[in-house]
């Protein structure tokens, strides 16, 4: 082998310098103790602020309570005056009624003691229309008040029937879309059967059907009886022009309805109908609805129920959508209960002492 003149990589003359192979764990930043201390310090600061704010909240709460206490004599005085006035009126009425009864002492104390006994609600409202007593006891709207409120809206507040029907129909459709969204319907097509009576309840049902069509449901309308109401006829025409099919008769075979439709909207009878005057074809329709398995959505009150009392043998809907205010029959309603229609002027709410719940955001329906 000849000596090669290849340049070879050799260590520098004198060898490599010393190599520092010690561990390099630079001590930088805060130490663990100080970080812990900072955390604890922040927490302590937070707690101090929290305790201060809680004390302030307690002071505010006490202020509210004191305001109520300050008002209490005034409110109690008004209530007392009202009670005494009603007792006086009852007394005078009693004198008139019982004037021919021998040996009757008007205003005689029914108790054996002399002390003041607060009168019961039944006693105070004894001679007044039943609605006032019911309103005092329960606060929900009874039939006469619902009718009175609607007349007032139409007359004094100059709302038009078209307006009210449109708003209520839209709100009902929104409630139905909330409770039975398109994705939750089991059948392939989102079919809905809407049964509309001839009165105002039916008009709201027709407006609701039209809006459901716009929300991509496939409603079918059934009107058992032709209506003479011009608004009803206009709404029916609008529904026809929206390509909603109209049934000419309701099959009495309940299974057919169960198979064809996902749910049934009941807009047959409203709170203004007189239950004694309900004849054919409604009784047949109600009979069929009673036997249905598909969920029923009732508008305002379940058809066939009395507006003031809950019924045990009427139809039993899965969802009740009350229009404007809940009616008395909804007190013991077991299913979902929505309130639709967010347009009542504050004056009417105050006058009828409605205490409606708050609607969230821009919704026009709220679940009760």
Residues that bind another protein (CB under 8 A): 156-160, 162-163, 165-167, 170, 173-174, 177-178, 210-211, 214-215, 231, 233-234, 237-238, 241-243, 342-343, 345-347, 359, 361-362
SS3 assignment, position 367: strand
Residue 125, Cβ density class (10 Å: 0-12 exposed, 13-18 middle, ≥19 buried):
buried
Angle between helix axes 230-241 and 161-179 (nearest 10 degrees) is 50
> Is the CB of residue 179 less than 8 Å from the CB of residue 215?
no
Q: Which residue do the tokens 């398109």 mark?
A: 182
One DSSP character per residue, 279-338 reads -TTHHHHHHHHHT--S-EEEESS-TTS-SSS--SSS---SEEEEESS-BGGGGG--SEEE
Give 215 or 272: the residue with its C-beta nearer to another protein. Answer: 215
Helical packing angle, 143-155 and 130-138, nearest 10°: 90
- In the complex with another protein, which residue's Cβ is closer, 179 or 315? 179
Report, in Å, the least distance between residue 70 CB and another protein: 27
Nearer residue to another protein within complex by CB, 180 or 261 = 180
**Alpha helix (H) residue ranges in the chain:** 32-97, 121-124, 130-138, 143-155, 161-179, 200-214, 230-241, 254-260, 282-290, 346-351
Nearer to another protein, 116 or 346 (CB): 346
Of 161 and 337, which CB lies nearer to another protein in the complex structure? 161
In the complex, least distance from residue 131 CB atom to another protein, rounded to whole angstroms: 24
Judged by CB, which is closer to another protein: 90, or 227?
A: 227
Q: Is the CB of 310 or the CB of 343 nearer to another protein?
A: 343
Tell me the two tokens of residue 306: 């009395």
**193 in helix, strand or coil?**
strand
Half-sphere exposure of 251 (CA within 13 A, CB side): 11
Cβ 152 to another protein, closest distance in Å? 10
Q: To the nearest whole angstrom, how small is the minimum distance from the Cβ of residue 234 to another protein?
A: 4
We find the least distance from the C-beta atom of residue 198 to another protein, in angstroms, to be 17
DSSP-derived letter for residue 103 is T
Q: Is the peptide bond before 238 cis (omega within 30 degrees of 0)?
A: no
Kindly give the residue spans of alpha helices, DSSP state H, lying in 180-223.
200-214
Residue closer to another protein, measured from CB, 233 or 258: 233
- Residue number with CB closer to another protein (156 or 353): 156
Find the shortest distance in angstroms from Cβ 193 to another protein: 20
CB of 242 to another protein, least distance (A): 5
Reading phi first (left if > 0) and then psi (alpha if -120 to 50, else beta), residue 14 is in left
CB of residue 178 to another protein, shortest distance in Å: 8
Of 195, 193, 144, 176, residue with least CA distance to 306: 144
Contact by Cβ (8 Å): 325, 134: no
CB of 220 to another protein, least distance (A): 16
Measured from the CB of residue 57, what is the shortest distance to another protein in angstroms? 23
Q: Which is nearer to another protein, 174 or 325 (CB)?
A: 174
- What's the rounded Cα separation, in Å, for the pair 159 and 171? 17
């Amino acid at each position: 082998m000849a000596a090669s003149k290849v340049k070879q990589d050799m260590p520098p003359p004198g060898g490599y310098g010393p190599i520092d192979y010690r561990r390099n764990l630079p001590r930088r930043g805060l130490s663990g103790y100080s970080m812990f201390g900072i955390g604890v310090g922040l927490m302590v600061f937070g707690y101090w602020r929290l305790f201060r704010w809680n004390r302030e909240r307690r002071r505010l709460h006490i202020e509210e309570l004191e305001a109520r206490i300050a008002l209490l004599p005034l409110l109690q005085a008004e209530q007392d005056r009202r009670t005494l006035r009603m007792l006086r009126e009852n007394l005078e009425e009693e004198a008139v009624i019982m004037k021919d009864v021998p040996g009757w002492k008007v205003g005689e104390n029914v108790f054996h003691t002399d002390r003041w006994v607060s009168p019961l609600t039944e006693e105070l409202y004894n001679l007044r229309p039943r609605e006032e007593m019911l309103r005092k006891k329960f606060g929900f709207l009874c039939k006469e008040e619902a009718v009175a409120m609607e007349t007032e809206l139409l007359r004094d507040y100059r709302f038009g029937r078209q307006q009210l029907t449109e708003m209520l129909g839209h709100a009902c459709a929104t409630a139905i879309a909330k409770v039975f969204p398109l994705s939750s319907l089991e059948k392939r097509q989102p079919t809905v059967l809407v049964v509309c009576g001839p009165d105002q309840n039916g008009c709201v049902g027709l407006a609701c059907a039209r809006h459901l069509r716009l929300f991509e449901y496939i409603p079918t309308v059934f009107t058992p009886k032709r209506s003479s109401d011009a608004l009803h006829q206009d709404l029916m025409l609008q529904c026809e022009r929206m390509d909603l099919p109209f049934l000419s008769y309701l099959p009495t075979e309940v299974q057919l309805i169960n198979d064809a439709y996902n749910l049934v909207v009941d807009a047959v009878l409203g709170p203004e109908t007189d239950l004694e005057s309900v004849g054919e074809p409604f009784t047949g329709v109600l009979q069929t609805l009673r036997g249905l398995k598909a969920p029923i959505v009732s508008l305002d009150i379940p058809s066939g129920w009395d507006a003031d009392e809950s019924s045990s043998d009427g139809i039993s809907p899965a969802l009740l959508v009350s229009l404007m205010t809940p009616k008395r029959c909804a007190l013991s309603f077991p299913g979902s209960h929505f309130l639709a229609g967010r347009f009542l002027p504050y004056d009417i709410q105050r006058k009828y002492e409605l205490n409606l719940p708050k609607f969230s955001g821009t919704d026009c329906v709220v679940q009760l």
